[in-house]
Chains A and B, each alone.
Chain A
């Protein structure tokens, strides 16, 4: 009898441990983050404008702003973020291993990363693409006018292939000079060894403004490749993915509706039902996502809307004076479009 009872007790205990263990494994990321009290955000520490460290050791930049926004959604506190600076080699494993909750580090959304690598991308926050930097006095309007020109670029990236494809398609001859890094590319370009430099537009822009006299160069609006960048989360956690997705959409919707850091308090009293729902004055949109009903208002208060974040880090209020281009709202001819908050 006692033996049987012991067996029963042991098996009950075993099952209990299994259930507990399983439940701790399958606990959603949102609950994990809430319980932990701090968001782990994977970032880059050396991309000017997107993710970098200030002299006092604080993380700043466009990508970093989304970490702060997500922390505002979950905790209403943009400082509750532990930034994990990652190299491009580490970033995906860090996400798979659960070391970080979200990867906000200039990562291009591609099919293989979404599929084989096992990430879930959320929303594109920045439409990058390969661009071309030329000297202003060349007076060139489009990339196709650069037939027979010499291009400087960085070796070992897809940029080489993209520019070759671009001109092969048009059956036009051109020359290519490749360099180990952006420094080599720019010094050759400066010394007139090539007519144009080609790389991701964001890289070229940062480099242009590092030059002694940036205004003699012009970065063409045209792009020859697609590089949509945005935050990624671990696979198969739709609740957590929703939180990140609607954080970004909230910032986009706020810009579209004209809600800014400055006029937030006034906007809360606005009679427009769309704005009321967005800011959580009416409705239960936030609750449905498992976060504070006022989460968009909190993001705007702490970080600002999408346009404000863009202007502060990359646009006219920054060193880079980047125009919105594809990153303008759809109402302004860009690609930024948030589904309705209702």
Chain B
């Protein structure tokens, strides 16, 4: 018997065992195959044959950065390059993530970021070559970030506390620039859009809501009645309304109440609303972690002579947060997807850009192409976060220890 027939027999055996073990499962298997055929074939025909992908190719600029001026795009690119380095460093803090999955992660990220950098060359000739330098620089910085973090053994706290916070500040300055500066001219934030805006709202939302959420969770367990009542009231109010309500409040009520001089820009109001919303949920997850801790931890810390602050930050919180990492990452992913709601209040995020693209005279009625594409983009980023969180759980031994 040749090895070919062996493998063929193996396959038949596998099929018989897993799909046709009884007449019931045979029926189910055939039924599922038929269903899959019914669903997949039209999708495939659409993607390969019917769809008009020109709407995506022509609108890469809109999808990536919204109305950001074309001659200032290098600032976005530089931002992306820095982000690559930081992601490299973040991946390197994952000791359970092998070389294989780290390179997979890099490939995945590179693909996602290529959308921003690579595609934007369609605007002008000669921009393409420069774009590729940016891409190469990004990949290089990713490796640099990875190896440096590995070599120096930077802790996760350092990478997140210093690296990411510094990056957020730097990128905001880089993107907005200064009035009257010829090198970094001001680009007001109503011009920011596309994937750039989606990621920005997400990153700022996560970074700002995490400490806020911790404070609220601790406050809710506080013995001081005023603080406790305030935290409970805040959390329950925010959790009691949908995010879109908060967004509309920010859009509609704040400008009506505040004098014009005090009204901050649309984007900032959205960021505040998203942060408040995420913080309330994070607080409840963290409170769950706090309550899961045995009271003995607290008593042991006090017996060692730690004061309340030390007890909280050295003993209680690290354990409490570790216990609820899956829920926290879930909240981050949810926050990322929730940012699509800002399209309703007139911001031009990825979803807003998609809606705008189908309003162009050349591309009326191409909803399917556009929404399939942005769904893919949302999926890629959500999946990246998910991979990261799975690794984080494995490394911290959630559910094992």
Contacts and interface: CB of A to CB of B under 8 A. Distances in A.
Interface of A: 44-49, 51-58, 82-87, 89-90, 93-94, 96-99, 182-183, 186, 206-207, 209-210, 318-320
B360 A57 contact: no
Contact of B361 (A84, A87, A97, A319): A319
A71 to B, nearest CB: 16
B364 A58 contact: no
A57 B361 contact: no
Given A55-B62, A56-B62, A90 B252 contact: yes
B345 to A, nearest CB: 7
Is the contact region of chain B dominated by helix, strand, or loop, or is it mixed?
A: helix
A47 B359 CA distance: 5
A85 B346 contact: yes
Interface in B50-77: 58-62, 65-68, 70
B318 interface: no
Contacts of A54: 360
Interface in B28-60: 58-60
Contacts of B356: 45-46, 52-53, 85
Contacts of B266: 84
Nearest to A57: B67
Nearest to B359: A46
Nearest to A92: B252
A230 B358 CA distance: 23
A55 B61 contact: yes
B256 A96 contact: yes
Given A45-B348, A97-B252, A320-B361, A57 B61 contact: yes
Contacts of A98: 255, 260
Nearest to B193: A57
Given A55-B60, A90-B346, 20 more contacts: A45-B346, A45-B356, A46-B356, A47-B359, A48-B361, A52-B360, A52-B361, A53-B359, A55-B62, A55-B122, A55-B357, A56-B70, A57-B68, A57-B191, A82-B188, A85-B346, A96-B256, A183-B367, A186-B365, A319-B362
B344 A87 contact: yes
A206 B193 CA distance: 26
A255 B25 CA distance: 76
Interface in B301-357: 344-346, 348, 352-353, 355-357
B394 interface: no
Nearest to A208: B364
A30 B220 CA distance: 50
A44 B352 CA distance: 12
A57 B367 contact: no
A90 B122 CA distance: 34
Contact of A56 (B61, B365, B367): B61
Contacts, number: 104
Contact of B355 (A45, A58, A186): A45
Contact of B123 (A56, A90, A183): A56
A55 B122 CA distance: 10
A55 B356 CA distance: 9
B132 interface: no
Contact of B256 (A46, A51, A97): A97
Contacts of A99: 255, 263
B16 interface: no
B364 A93 contact: no
A301 to B, nearest CB: 24
A47 B361 CA distance: 8
30 contacts: A45-B355, A45-B356, A46-B359, A47-B359, A48-B360, A48-B364, A49-B361, A51-B359, A52-B359, A53-B353, A53-B357, A55-B60, A55-B122, A56-B61, A57-B67, A83-B190, A85-B356, A86-B346, A87-B345, A89-B248, A90-B248, A93-B251, A93-B252, A94-B255, A97-B252, A99-B255, A182-B365, A206-B361, A210-B365, A319-B362
A183 B365 contact: yes
A82 B348 contact: no
B251 A90 contact: yes
A289 B67 CA distance: 33
A90 B251 CA distance: 8
A166 to B, nearest CB: 27
Contact of B345 (A52, A90, A97): A90
Contacts of B188: 82
B52 to A, nearest CB: 11
B341 to A, nearest CB: 12
B360 A53 contact: yes
A210 B364 contact: yes
Contacts of A94: 251, 255
A53 B345 contact: no
Contacts of A210: 364-365
B364 A207 contact: yes
Interface in B86-101: none
Given A97-B256, A183-B365, A319-B361, A53 B62 contact: yes
B348 A87 contact: no
Most buried by A among B59, B65, B193, B346: B346
A49 B360 CA distance: 8
Contacts of B248: 89-90
Contacts of B367: 183
A53 B348 contact: yes
Interface string B241-261: 000000010011001100010
Contacts of B344: 87, 89
A312 B143 CA distance: 51
A320 B191 CA distance: 28
A57 B62 contact: yes
